[in-house]
Amino acid sequence: MKNRNQYKSKIKEGNRAVTAILYLLAALMAFITVYPMYYVLILSLSEPQYAATMKVYTIPKGFNLGAYEVLVTDTKMWRAYANTFLYVIANTILMVITSTTVAFGLNYKKLIGRKFLTMFLLIPMYFSGGMIPSFLLIVKLGLYDSPLSQIIPAAFSIWNIILVRSYFRSIPDSLSEAAKIDGAGILQILIKIFVPLGKPIFAVIAVYTIVATWNSWFKAMLYLPHTDWQPLQMHLRRILVETTRTVTQAMDPAAAKEAAARELSNAQLQYAMIIFTTLPVLFAYPFFQRYFVKGMVMGSLKE
Amino acid sequence: MFRKIHNTKGESGTKQKKKYGEGIIKENLQVYALMLPTLLLILIFCYVPLYGIIIAFEDYVPGSSFIGKDVDWVGLKWFKQFITGHYFARLIKNTLVLSILNLIFGFTAPILFALLLDQIKHLKYKKFIQTASYMPYFISTVVVAGMVISFVDTDGLITSLLSVFGFARENYRTNSGAFPWIYTFTNVWKGFGFGSILYCSIISSIDPGLYEAAKLDGANRWQQVWHVTLPGLKAVIAINLIKTVGDILSTNTDLILLFYTPATYDVADVIGTYTYRLGILEGQYSYTTAAGVFTSLIGFAITYVANKISNKLAGVGLW
Amino acid sequence: MQKKRMWAALLAATMVMGSLAGCGAKDSEDKSTSGGKTEVGSASESVQEETKELDTIKILGVDRPGTDNAGNTVYLSDWVNGDSKIWQRLTSDLAERGIQLELDLIAEDQYETVIQTQIAAGLDCDMVNIHGVDSKTRMNLIKQGVLIPINEIWDTYSEESTKEFYTTGDGSVLELNTMEDGNIYWLSPITIGDYQGESWGSVKGAMIRKDWLDKLNIEMPETTDELYDALLAFQEQDANGNGAKDELTRASLSSFYNGIAQMFGLGTDLVCFTDYESGVVTSPWYQDGIKDYINFMKKLYDAGLLDTAESGTENKVENRLALICSWWAGTYEEAAVVVPEGQAGANYVGIICDSETGVSPVVSIQDGIQKNSNYEVAFTSQANKEAVGRLLDYLCSEEFSTLTEYGIEGYSYEVVDGVKVKITDSDISEVQLISNLPALWTNNAILPRLEVVDRAQELATVVEAGYSVGYEESGYSDKANVIKDIYENSENYVFTQMTPSASLAVATEDETQRSADLRADLDTYYKELLTKLIMGQSSMDDWDTYIAEMKELGLDELIEISQNRYDRANK
């Protein structure tokens, strides 16, 4: 702790004017990224017809909580919320475990068959068999229409393995060696040295996985034909897709009429839905940010 | 000190060999035991379905078998059709232009932003900026596109802003010249905050002692960034760069599909959007798979070469 | 610290609420709450006990939603699992015929993916909505014997009247679905329009803001020049009164189906009929009015009169659209337009203008007995053919058509002077729904629709819709009169078929593949060209080059394919 404060005070010595400019620049960046969210928020609170125009820039035009009312009373949405939480938790835990173990293995200096293994990991990053073979596999494994179809195939990511591996590389070998001399086995080296030192990268992987799981819908679209176990994003997407399917595409009068009605009633709903579905995950990042604080890693090194 | 870490690494490699030679097999078994569950998952979920690629060489229709006597083999027909297609050159050109713009802006923005954040020492302010920056990542592409389309319309927010600077008041969505910039900006804006998470985490793991040492040597703010922070990020920048370069033939198809109009086809129609239109016309599973295999092969080759170069020049790579 | 606690609290709250919902859902999981597999027995159970065992027909279809007056989205599965009287009537009707349905309902947005993947894995149902299944896949399913010929079923297992309906009656439009082997494998929805004994389809085309014309004292334009002047006047005299020159024409730049192209006699698609009656297939690019059309659109574009956004609700809602392309008898477009307080609502009226180039404008219209192409249903080899035969009897009965369009007498409609009148002021969600839409089991859900429209009644409804939006005396009579004139003085009009492909015979395998190969590039080419010509980015001087290029891309071959298909259907 002391070390960090000392370091903080020193870096402040830089040019004040430059510091001010940098702070302003950061504020500007924050503005252009926060504004759209704010924009979505005011659209979600405006009267539906104004929400449909999208020309609401500063404060809500009119005030209407109708969309939120619809959402809060929507039991299907709450079910989808719970599903998403389940997938997020399961996937994050599994992802950190799978990435860490393989990355650790790859980082092991005397690994036999490394060349083969790297190729084994590289090929799937670029080639896939496409939708139908994957689907047939899921059916064969008995995962179709089961929540496990959202967890097991999403439990690993080759890119995350590479990231963790690259991070592990920067951990000095002397630490493992010292542990070995103390009689530690492979598993102990992983748990005693790499796991504590890898916290920042685990935090990154966790954030990545949380966000990816939170935003994912394609696997659900393919493997979950019924809404019971579908995640939140499928629910959101349903509203969005229904809204964007334009009236002109409808081939008969009744369908056109229906589309027109939905277009308007969903105009506000879609924005409320975004606010509603985004809030929890926005808090995931600050939660993990504490692992990104300078000096933490080196601090744990000294323990 | 940074360099020292790397040096010890090299030395230790050779040292280890002598000391622990006997246990190698046993240790390898342990290491593989750790990796096995994940490797099995990869084998099952990535490799088993790979046979699907075969449909690029046949005339596949859902419901028929992939391999067997009733398969209608067509050889390289789809590849030929794709490469000799009327729009092939334009598709490649557009894809490359958008990818290169993404490489220049989309790849660098998260790094610069992470460096900027690092300069902000007020912790609460920093946390706020950081959290704010990744918000756009959560707004669905459909909504982002709708928003941007509305912003660049004749009386939209951005058009109004631009007109102050003497730009014409028009619907920029139908302007071919503006399209690549709108696309790139939207992409960068949506992704830079999220992309910077990785860099922020790596920066946080750089030994503060290195900065202390640099300061003792009289390094100013920029020199510290240049001599300490950037070298610390070198490895992760390299692997990200290799990946980005490897993805040069893939673009954010979802976003383009929502953005483009026939008026901007000449700059916006990319491999992804073209195969999408093919697909909705008549299934065309084989043709679109062939196009996919084509881009994958090139991506794979580029990655392979880029990795070689990176390993040689920077000493880091994907593997 | 505070923040963290808040987050934890929020997390806990959402999880608790979520799991509550989850538990709630669990209770009824066996019967599924949300469009899962559903045995439909509730209504037919009692019937089942009394009479013989019912034959089950297992259907894979879409869980179609509808929006009731309160803005709630109601799904077909809600009807099935809830206490919908209309659904119960359907099941009891079917039970009388010894049939019960077992449904596997999939959300609309997901259906295309589910059906494609399930076909790849092998279908497990008796009846299936094959919406979104491409023709190559369909042909493959036929080849593999998965789909069975429906004509053989009605020949063997249905009542005589059913057979007549499909072979010589209104249902004979389905002959267009005949495959190369002479069989019919899927049923399409059918709309039968009737105006005083003659069959008439719906019209879709350009519609202008009649209320703006009246406000500015402009006569209904009869030529395209007058139309241009009127559209210009809207802007210059600020027809919507918002102080900005933003009164726009929404006519797609990249498509031939925008209402304006039809004023220049052009067909509605890249491949179309020059002459509806003679059935000669051509392309708008070869038609006489094409250059004049492009020049006219260019004039609109240059004057800033075209809505370049082309789609989306913004301009419509903001009361800016002077001209749109829509269904002439529809009144839902107006409902979305927000007019200033105190003014009468928008009033879009169908408009046809002569182009002064000697080419007569065309009215794009559906057939009087229209085979709709928005979805089809098929039967698989596992189906009990005898049961399917009885289902067909029901599907072409008046009983089914009435139940689908009007619901139950005394509950959702009443008969006044021999005319069925829907009850519109009910508090019951499903009655509200059926007053606006057909029953949720049709329109791309599970069963094919058989719609019988009394066009005169339809026009009366159009007029009526105007009473409540500020036209107390006349209603939307202008709107209705334009359509009435077409029905009654049809000799004054030239017609074009709205969806040319709807009257073509089913394409053969080769034709399908060839069309797909050609269309990918041709569509890209012509849409881009049309847009660039109108925007002035491509020059009309290079016309011959463009045509040559399109020929090279196979336009003529595409026309030939369509001509062959037309000839097969009309031999």
Residue C43 pLDDT > 70, yes or no? no
Residue C494 has φ and ψ, to the nearest 5°, of -110, 135
Mean pLDDT of A167-191: 88
What residues have CB less than 8 Å from B119, skipping those under 6 apart? A14, A19, A22, B221
Condensed to tens digits (0 to 9), the pLDDT of residues C264-294 reads 999 888 888 766 677 889 999 999 899 999 9
CA distance B165 to chain A (A): 19
Cα torsion angle, C149, B279, A250, C486, sign: negative
Among the residue ranges A212-216, C43-47, C51-55, C232-236, the one predicted with the least confidence is C43-47
Q: Is residue C238 helix, strand or coil?
A: coil
B12 occurs within a structural domain: no
Position A40 scores a pLDDT of 86
The larger pLDDT score, comparing residue C503 to residue C124, is at: C124
C-chain residues near B153 (CB < 8 A): 309, 314
Domains in chain C, CATH or no CATH each: 37-192+371-449 (3.40.190.10), 204-365+459-503 (3.40.190)
Domain boundaries, chain A: 16-64, 66-302
Mark yes or no for CB contact A261/C333 under 8 Å. Answer: no
User: Nearest-CA neighbor of C361 among C345, C350, C377, C346?
Assistant: C350
Q: pLDDT confidence of C545, banded at 50, 70, 90? A: very high
For the cut 70, the answer to whether the pLDDT of residue C41 exceeds it is no
Per-residue pLDDT at C12 exceeds 60? no
Q: What is the pLDDT of residue B72?
A: 83
Rounded Cα distance, C36 and C30, in Å: 9
Residue A42, φ and ψ in degrees, nearest 5 = -70, -30
Assigned token pair, A246: 């334009």
Q: Report residue C522 CA to chain centroid gap.
A: 25
Both B33 and B88 in one domain: the answer is no
Subunit contact C34:A76, Cβ cutoff 8 A: yes
Q: Using an 8 Å Cβ cutoff, are B16 and A109 in contact?
A: yes
Q: Does B107 share its domain with B192? A: yes
pLDDT band at A252 (very low <50, low <70, confident <90, very high): low
Helix (H) or strand (E) holding C71: none
Cα→Cα distances B286→A103, B252, C436, Å: 36, 22, 43
Same domain? For B275 and B301 the reply is yes
Does one domain contain both B289 and B176?
yes
| Reduced 3-state DSSP string for chain B | CHHHHHHHHHHHHHHHHHHHHHHHHHHHHHHHHHHHHHHHHHHHHHHHHHHHHHHHHECCCECECCCCCCCCECCCHHHHHHHCCCCHHHHHHHHHHHHHHHHHHHCHHHHHHHHHHHHCCCHHHHHHHHHHHCHHHHCCHHHHHHHHHHHCCCCCHHHHHHHHCCCCCCCHHHCCCCHHHHHHHHHHHHHHHHHHHHHHHHHHCCCHHHHHHHHHCCCCHHHHHHHHHHHHHHHHHHHHHHHHHHCCCCCCHHHHHHHCCHHHHHHHCCHHHHHHHHHHHHCCHHHHHHHHHHHHHHHHHHHHHHHHHHHHHCCCCCC
In angstroms, the CA C403 to CA C438 distance is 9
| Cβ-contact B22, B37 below 8 angstroms | no
What B224-231 contacts at long range (C-beta under 8 Å, 24+ apart), as own/partner pairs, is B225/B115, B225/B118, B228/B2, B229/B115, B229/B118, B229/B203, B231/B2
Tell me if chain A has a CB within 8 Å of the CB of B143: yes
Closest CB to B204: pick one of A126, A155, A296: A296
Among A136, A87, C214, C532, which residue's Cα sits nearest to residue B60? A136
Cβ proximity of C177 and C506 under 8 Å? yes
Q: How confident is the model at residue C554 (pLDDT cuts 50, 70, 90)?
A: very high
Q: With an 8 Å Cβ cutoff, are A240 and B44 in contact? A: no
Mark whether B211 and B253 lie in a shared domain: yes
Q: How many residues does chain C have?
A: 571
With an 8 Å Cβ cutoff, are C34 and A52 in contact?
no
A71 pLDDT above the threshold of 50: yes
Q: How distant is the Cα of A201 from the closest Cα of chain B, in angstroms?
A: 7
Q: If interface means Cβ-Cβ distance under 8 Å, which residues of chain C face chain B?
A: 116-117, 119-120, 122, 134-137, 139-141, 144, 146, 244, 246, 253-254, 308-310, 312, 314, 512-513, 515-517, 519-521, 523-525, 527-528, 530-532, 535, 537, 553
Rounded to a whole number of angstroms, the CA Rg of chain A reads 25
Instruction: Using CB atoms, pick whichever of B154, B265, B283 lies closest to residue C137.
Output: B283
pLDDT band at residue C184 using 50, 70 and 90 as cut-offs: very high
Asked if B171 lies within 8 A of C521 by C-beta distance, the reply is: no
Q: Which amino acid is at A58?
A: T
Cβ contact (<8 Å) for A133 and B49?
A: yes
Residues in chain A: 303
Contact A164, A205 (CB under 8 A): yes
Q: Which residues of B touch A101 (CB under 8 A)?
A: 34-35, 37-38
Give dist(CA C385, CA B210) in Å, integer. Answer: 81
The fraction of chain C above a pLDDT of 70, given in percent, is 90
What is the C-alpha to C-alpha distance for residues B74 and B76, in angstroms, rounded to an integer? 6
pLDDT of residue C44: 42
What confidence tier does C237 reach under pLDDT thresholds 50, 70, 90? very high
Residues 6+ apart with CB under 8 A from B1: B207, B209, B210, B213
Check residue C20 and give its pLDDT.
37
Cβ pair A118, C51 in contact under 8 A: no
Is a pLDDT exceeding 70 seen at residue A36?
A: yes
A22-25: which pairs have CB atoms within 8 A and are 24 or more residues apart?
A22/B116, A22/B119, A22/B120, A23/B120, A23/B122, A23/B125, A25/B116
**pLDDT at residue A298 in the model:** 45
Sign of CA dihedral B96, B98, B104, B108: negative
What is the per-residue pLDDT for B155?
78
- Which amino acid does the sequence have at A187? L
Q: State ipTM.
A: 0.85
Q: Is B91 exposed, middle or buried (0-12, 13-18, 19+ CB in 10 A)?
A: buried
The chain-wide mean pLDDT, for chain C, equals 86
C-chain CB neighbours of B64 within 8 Å are 140, 144
Instruction: Give the closest residue to C187 by CA, choosing from C199, C171, C201.
Output: C171
Give me the pLDDT at residue C539, please.
94
Nearest CA in chain A to B302: A126
pLDDT in tens, chain B (319 residues): 333 334 334 444 444 444 446 678 888 999 999 999 999 999 999 999 999 999 899 988 888 888 877 788 888 999 999 999 999 999 999 999 999 999 999 999 999 999 999 888 888 898 889 888 988 888 878 778 888 888 888 878 888 889 999 888 888 988 999 999 999 999 999 999 989 989 988 888 888 888 889 989 888 888 999 999 999 898 899 989 998 999 899 888 889 988 888 999 999 999 999 988 887 766 688 888 999 999 999 999 999 899 899 988 878 777 7
A245–B contact, CB cutoff 8 A: no
Q: How confident is the model at residue C413 (pLDDT cuts 50, 70, 90)?
A: very high
Q: Is position B131 within any domain?
A: yes
Q: How many domains are there within chain B? A: 2
Between C66-70, C328-332, C344-348, the lowest mean confidence (pLDDT) is in C66-70
User: CB neighbours (10 Å) of residue A232?
Assistant: 30
Neighbours of chain C (3+ CB pairs under 8 A): A, B
- Give φ, ψ of A190 to 5 degrees: -60, -50
**Residue that is last in its domain, among B75, B104, B119:** B75
Measured in Å, how far apart are chain A's first and last C-alpha atoms?
13
**Same-domain pairing of B130 and B228:** yes
| Cα–Cα dist C147/C379, whole Å | 6
More confident residue, C367 or C25: C367
- What is each CA distance from A281 to A90, A207, B138, in whole angstroms? 15, 9, 9
DSSP string for C253-303: SS-S-SSHHHHTT--SSSSEEEETTTTEEE-GGGSTTHHHHHHHHHHHHHT
- The distance of A189 to chain C (nearest Cα, Å) reads 33
DSSP classification of residue C219? P
Test C140 with B278 for CB contact under 8 angstroms.
Answer: no
Asked if C156 reaches chain A (Cβ–Cβ under 8 Å), the answer is no
Nearest-by-CA chain A residue for C438: A254
Q: Of C137, C519, C527, which has the smallest distance from its Cβ to B61's Cβ?
A: C137
In contact, C260 and C498? CB cutoff 8 Å = no
Cα–Cα distance measured from residue A191 to residue A179, given in angstroms and rounded to the nearest whole number: 11
The DSSP element (H or E) to which A101 belongs, if any, is helix A75-107
What's the domain range around B127?
A: 78-313
Count of beta carbons in the 10 Å neighbourhood of residue C461:
17
Name the residue among C116, C122, C136 with its Cβ closest to that of B282. C136
Which of these three, B59, B75, B91, is where a domain ends? B75
Residue matched to tokens 């004049």: C292
Q: How far is CA B164 from CA A55, B167, C245, C304, in A?
A: 19, 7, 19, 20
Residue A4 has pLDDT above 60, yes or no: no
* pLDDT bucket at A243, cuts 50 / 70 / 90: low
Query: Chain B residue closest to A189 (CA)?
Result: B31
The pLDDT value recorded for residue C274 is 64
DSSP letters, C151-199, are HHHHHHTS-HHHHHHHHTSGGGGGGGGB-TTS-B-EE--EEEEEBTTB-
Q: Clarify whether residues B215 and B304 are in a common domain.
A: yes
Nearest CA in chain B to C119: B63
Instruction: Say which residue, B44 or C369, is predicted with more confidence.
Output: B44
Asked if A110 reaches chain B (Cβ–Cβ under 8 Å), the answer is yes
**Which among A12, A18, A23, A33 is the top mutation candidate for probing chain B, defined by the most B β-carbons within 10 Å of its own β-carbon?**
A33
Residue B64 and residue B90 share a domain? no
Q: What is the pLDDT of residue C35?
A: 40
Higher pLDDT, A96 or C53: A96
Among B75, B110, B138, give the residue marking a domain's end.
Answer: B75
In the chain, the amino acid numbered B212 is E
- How does DSSP classify residue A191? I
Q: By CB neighbour count within 10 A (0-12 exposed, 13-18 middle, 19+ buried), where does C561 fall?
A: buried
Which residue is listed with tokens 């750089």? B206
C-alpha–C-alpha distance, residues B49 and A135, integer Å: 9
Contacts of C35 in chain A (CB under 8 A): 226-227
Which pLDDT score, from 0 to 100, does residue C535 have?
93
Q: What percent of chain C has pLDDT over 90?
A: 54
With 0-12 / 13-18 / 19 or more C-beta atoms within 10 angstroms meaning exposed / middle / buried, residue B22 is exposed
- Asked if A263 and C373 come within 8 Å (Cβ–Cβ), the reply is no
C520·B277 Cβ contact <8 A:
yes
B188 & B96 share domain: yes
Are B69 and B83 within one domain?
A: no
pLDDT at C130 over 90: yes
Q: Which residue has the tokens 């069309």?
A: C515
Supply the pLDDT for residue A294: 58
Rounded CA gap, C405 and C383, in Å?
27
Name beta bridge partners: C192.
C369, C452
Give contacts of B 163-182 with A, CB under 8 A: none
Residue B119 to residue C501: CA distance in whole angstroms: 64
Give the pLDDT of residue A236: 84
> What is residue C295's predicted lDDT score, i.e. its pLDDT?
95
What's the CA gap between A177 and C492, in Å, rounded?
96
Chain B residue nearest residue C141, CA to CA = B63
Question: What is the average pLDDT score of chain A?
Answer: 83
pLDDT of residue B62: 83
CATH class label, A66-302: mainly alpha
